């Protein structure tokens, strides 16, 4: 987890920090394998296939080295940031609107803020920033891995199957079956039922 406490986060500060952190991450990665230009383009295009938010890929592309999941905010789509990312082999992928739950960073931020601030009474903004940075260092010393569809997900699935009845695909459940009202169409179907 990489954290930097700041008093404000306009794009000029956020993008500069993000570029510095990504440069460090990319430098630690193994060198990309040699690829023909067509193969590189195919890799980039594969990640854009099916996305609702895409951008025009430049004529010459570097090897794709990293996927970066970002919130779907206009500040994350500025031409200067997107061009910098592409030039460095980083493919930005944006979560859908109202889909911040797809971005694991949102979960980590909630955990980090709770651990850093619970039971504390800050006197200055610097206190909050220091506590958040210290908590991030503690997390990095013994990180908790996040897994999509892990044990908790499987427990929830089993619980739903045993005790819950889904409500129209909404994600909501009832503890007992919800009886449907008989509609005119249901009555017509029953009246048309022919037994052999």
Q: Where are the domains of the chain?
A: 11-102, 104-141, 151-192
pLDDT at 196: 46
Is the distance from CB of 112 to CB of 139 less than 8 angstroms? yes
Backbone phi, then psi, for 90, in 5-degree steps?
-110, 125
pLDDT band at 138 (very low <50, low <70, confident <90, very high): very high
| Cα-only R_g, the chain | 24
Closest CA relative to residue 23, chosen from 74, 77, 89: 89
Is the distance from CB of 29 to CB of 65 less than 8 angstroms? yes
Whole-model pTM: value is: 0.68
157 three-state secondary structure: helix
Measured CA to CA, the distance from residue 80 to residue 77 in angstroms comes to 8
pLDDT at 143 over 70: yes
pLDDT band at 171 (very low <50, low <70, confident <90, very high): low
Q: Beta-carbon neighbour count of residue 153 at 10 Å?
A: 11
Tell me which of 52 and 30 has the higher pLDDT.
30
């Amino acid at each position: 987890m990489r954290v930097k406490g700041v008093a404000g986060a306009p794009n000029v500060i956020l993008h500069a920090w993000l570029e510095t952190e990504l440069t460090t991450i990319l430098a630690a990665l193994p060198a990309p394998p040699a690829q023909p230009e067509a193969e590189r383009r195919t890799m980039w295009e594969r990640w854009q296939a099916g996305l609702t938010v895409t951008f025009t890929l430049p004529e010459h592309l570097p090897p794709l080295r990293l996927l970066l999941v970002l919130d779907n905010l206009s500040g994350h789509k500025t031409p200067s940031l997107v061009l910098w990312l592409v030039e460095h082999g980083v493919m930005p992928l944006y979560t859908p609107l109202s889909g911040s739950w797809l971005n694991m960073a949102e979960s980590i931020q909630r955990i980090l803020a709770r651990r850093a601030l619970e039971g504390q009474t800050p006197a200055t903004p610097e206190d909050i920033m220091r506590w958040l940075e210290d908590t991030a260092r503690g997390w990095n010393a013994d990180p908790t891995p996040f897994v999509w569809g892990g044990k908790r997900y499987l427990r929830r699935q089993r619980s739903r199957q045993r005790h819950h009845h889904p409500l129209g695909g909404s994600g909501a459940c009832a503890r007992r079956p919800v009886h449907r009202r008989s509609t005119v169409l249901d009555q017509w179907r029953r009246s048309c039922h022919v037994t052999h």
